[in-house]
Amino acid sequence: GQQLNQSPQSMFIQEGEDVSMNCTSSSIFNTWLWYKQEPGEGPVLLIALYKAGELTSNGRLTAQFGITRKDSFLNISASIPSDVGIYFCAGRSSSNTGKLIFGQGTTLQVKP
């Protein structure tokens, strides 16, 4: 079945540093979504991407839909302590019913 590989699995950074994480797929996707999940909560949508090559920002967050349509990237600039959480990529291909598949998550810890 379809799989998403998300990396890195975890990151421990200093406040103020920039962060990059990515997600790759074995098949072509037509939608990429990035979510953040905090303990005891459901995932919250950060950025949605619908077009290959698309670059979208949401405050300090920037995400890109890869040209090959098999990958996506999320960058966080000037990290702050409240950025702590688990970041998930999710992809949807055009070959199914709109099923959204999630990566394994990247756990981010920020040291003040």
Partner 1 sequence: EAGVAQSPRYKIIEKRQSVAFWCNPISGHATLYWYQQILGQGPKLLIQFQNNGVVDDSQLPKDRFSAERLKGVDSTLKIQPAKLEDSAVYLCASSPTTTGELFFGEGSRLTVL
By the rule CB under 8 A, 31 interacts with partner 1? yes
The residue within the footprint of partner 1, chosen from 8, 55, 100, 109 (CB under 8 A), is: 100
- Of 73 and 88, which CB lies nearer to partner 1 in the complex structure? 88
Q: What are the strands of the beta sheet with 71-76, ordered from one edge?
A: 4-7, 19-25, 71-76, 61-65, 55-58
Contact 93, 29 (CB under 8 A): yes
* Burial class, 19, CB count within 10 angstroms (exposed 0-12 / middle 13-18 / buried 19+): buried
- Of 54 and 102, which CB lies nearer to partner 1 in the complex structure? 102
- Of 13 and 101, which CB lies nearer to partner 1 in the complex structure? 101
Q: Interface residues with partner 1 (CB under 8 A)?
A: 4, 6, 31, 33, 35, 40-45, 48, 88, 90, 92, 96-105
